[in-house]
Amino acid sequence: MATIFFKLLLAVAVLVILYMAHKNYENIDINYWTIVVLIPIVILGYWLKTTVTTTEGAMVCFAIIYLDSTVMLIVMLFSMLRFLRIEVKAWVKTLAYTITFGHVYMFWECIHNDWYYTSMTLIDTGNGIATKMTGGPLKIVHWIYLAIVLCAIVVTLIYALVRRGTYSRRTLLLYACVTVTGLVMYGLESTLDVNFSSLPILYVVADVLIAVNYDHAHTHDIACLISEQQKYHGSRGYVAIDMEGRFLSCNLKSYEFLPEAEFQIVDAKLQKGSKMAAVLYDLMDAYRKDGTKKKDFYVGEMACRCEITEFTIRKDGKMQGFLFDIRDITEEKKVLSVMQDYNDTLNEEVLKKTENIKGIQERVVLGLANMVENRDANTGGHVKRTSDIIKIIVDEMEKQEIYNLSEQMAEDIVRAAPMHDLGKITIENNILNKPARLTKEEFEIMKTHSAKSGEFVNIILKDVEEKHFVDVAFNVARYHHERWDGKGYPEGLVGEMIPLEARIMAIADVYDALVSKRCYKEAMSFEKAAEIMTDGMGSQFDPNMLTVFLGCREQLEKYYSEN
């Protein structure tokens, strides 16, 4: 019966190994896998011991079983230290394992003598072979070894209770309970008359519990998520939080960026109102909402950047939480600030130079326009007035949302207005200043000024101004005498074939000609001028501009009354 029971325990222990292997973890804990492999080996020893028929066979089985109170015990201790984040020196581990395996080897050497056990009796209980033994002179070595390890475990547990730190209490408690319970059961069974040990039951139960707890335990172990170098010596801080926002673990460097992390309780939500909660939870929410992956914050004068990624400790497994990568970007900020200041200075200088160039260009254009106007006795002040009323018309178009002019387009049209008659500089004085109506031949010559105006715009502005402004200025100059019905010049364009800026300029140009005094006519009344303008909508002018003209009529009349 005992033989079958131990077989079942062995099967369960093997299934645990298969279960853990099936999870296909990215990183493994060598301490845990040592334990999970040793347990079925030790249970195998207990099973075989119930079937042996010689004392030599029983001693060989004990040689296997002894791995539990030696190797497995010391591995459990180091596993607890790992969860507590107590760094054990390499020489200490080497010494501990040397003593442990030396102890095991000493027992193996005593299989064929009576130094460890002076006598051994095999008893067939009907449920399996039981063994009764009497300890020899070297048995005390084992008790001393157990006492030392037990003291180390007790000291570790006391340290855990008084030390504040980011470790999994649940995992530590599980390991501690299993270890202490095993030592107590081992001591009782060694002193009492027990036929079959119940320790294999404890080992299998512990094996199952540790396997179930593995995911939980290793989401708390930052070394499973980052390299050992980053854990202790890296320049970056790492914090792990589960999908529900419970704190899992962090490395030592993270304390510099988020001091509250040193006192944060594992498996608990971050303290409400803390800097740590503000940084990490805000970034979590932003990441889930719109994919934001980084957040900058300050610790004193230190500038920090926190970046978020999802993590899992299994290959192709579901996401188990968020890993925050925190680093010092103070120097980066300083460099960026210096570069930004330098760029701002350069931009200011460029802006000043650009404004100077634009000012020079505008003065050149206005100078040419004034030169033309000084030659044309008929159009005194025309350049300035049309520039002013173009602004009034464009503002009204924006107000009524006619054609939805962009801010850049509106600015370009206003700037281009003074250039619309530059070509008149090529017209002879006897035609330009003729006080009477022009003959048909003279009018044909006068009509050439629009094409010449476009040419002058390209000569003056091309390659020194932005293309969008050059295009607008060219269209204003060349096409402002085109008519909606196609009877204008120089190309006889019809309707929307005429550029919008030229259609707007035509209204300003004609209206100024109507209400202004010329050497060959008096100024027309506002009422008469308005009548002519409205009658011309759809024939001479864009009909869509009727509401614009009516909307700004009062403002136009006020302008001319004051000027």
Task: Give tens-digit pLDDT for 279-305.
Answer: 999 999 999 999 999 999 999 889 999
Q: Provide the 10 A C-beta neighbour count for residue 270.
A: 23
Q: In this structure, which amino acid lies at residue 243?
A: M
> pLDDT-derived band of residue 354, with 50, 70 and 90 as boundaries?
low
Q: What is the mean pLDDT of residues 7-20?
A: 89
Query: What pLDDT score does 221 carry?
Result: 59
3-class secondary-structure state, position 123: strand
Query: What pLDDT score does 233 carry?
Result: 47
Q: What is the mean pLDDT of residues 461-479?
A: 84
Query: What pLDDT score does 464 carry?
Result: 64
Q: What is the mean pLDDT of residues 24-40?
A: 80
Q: What is the mean pLDDT of residues 13-23?
A: 85
> pLDDT-derived band of residue 41, with 50, 70 and 90 as boundaries?
very high
Residue closest to 435 by CA, chosen among 494, 518, 497, 364: 518
Distance CA 39, CA 17 (A): 10
Residues pairing with 120 in the sheet:
133
Distance CA 238, CA 228 (A): 12
Residues pairing with 325 in the sheet:
238, 307
Q: In this structure, which amino acid lies at residue 46?
A: Y
Query: What pLDDT score does 229 carry?
Result: 43
Q: Provide the 10 A C-beta neighbour count for residue 101.
A: 13
Residues 167, 173, 176, 182, Cα dihedral to 10° = -150
Q: What is the mean pLDDT of residues 397-426?
A: 86
**What are the pLDDT digits (tens) for 103-122?**
889 888 888 888 888 888 88
Average pLDDT, the chain: 83
**What are the pLDDT digits (tens) for 274-284?**
999 999 999 99
Distance CA 501, CA 393 (A): 11
Q: Given a cut of 60, is residue 93 above it in pLDDT?
A: yes
> pLDDT-derived band of residue 551, with 50, 70 and 90 as boundaries?
very high
Spatial CB neighbours of 485, under 8 Å, sequence gap ≥ 6: 494, 538, 539, 540
Higher-confidence residue of 72 and 314: namely 72
Cis before residue 40, ω within 30 degrees of 0? no
Distance CA 532, CA 133 (A): 129
| Number of residues that make up the chain | 563
User: Above pLDDT 70, what percent of the chain?
Assistant: 88
**What are the pLDDT digits (tens) for 505-528?**
999 999 998 998 776 678 899 999
> pLDDT-derived band of residue 165, with 50, 70 and 90 as boundaries?
low
Query: What pLDDT score does 166 carry?
Result: 65
Please say whether the beta carbons of 60 and 111 come within 8 A: yes
Please say whether the beta carbons of 361 and 464 come within 8 A: yes
> pLDDT-derived band of residue 316, with 50, 70 and 90 as boundaries?
low
What is the three-state SS of 99-118?
A: HHHHHHHHHHHCCCCCCCEE
Residues 359, 362, 367, 369, Cα dihedral to 10° = -170
Please say whether the beta carbons of 118 and 135 come within 8 A: yes
> Crossing angle of helices 330-375/382-400, nearest 10°?
130
Q: What is the mean pLDDT of residues 392-400?
A: 92
Please say whether the beta carbons of 526 and 514 come within 8 A: no
Distance CA 531, CA 6 (A): 113
Higher-confidence residue of 206 and 555: namely 555
> pLDDT-derived band of residue 379, with 50, 70 and 90 as boundaries?
very low
3-class secondary-structure state, position 512: helix
Spatial CB neighbours of 336, under 8 Å, sequence gap ≥ 6: none
Q: How many helices (H) and strands (E) does the chain have?
A: 20, 7
**What are the pLDDT digits (tens) for 433-459?**
777 788 888 888 888 888 888 888 888
Query: What pLDDT score does 366 carry?
Result: 62
- Got the DSSP string for 25-85? BSS--HHHHHHHHHHHHHHHHHHHHTT--SHHHHHHHHHHHTTIIIIIHHHHHHHHHHHTT
- Got the DSSP string for 313-373? SBTTPPP-EEEEEEEE-HHHHHHHHHHHHHHHHHHHHHHHHHHHHHHHHHHHHHHHHHHHH
Query: What pLDDT score does 378 carry?
Result: 47
3-class secondary-structure state, position 242: strand
Q: Given a cut of 70, is residue 312 above it in pLDDT?
A: yes
> pLDDT-derived band of residue 558, with 50, 70 and 90 as boundaries?
very high
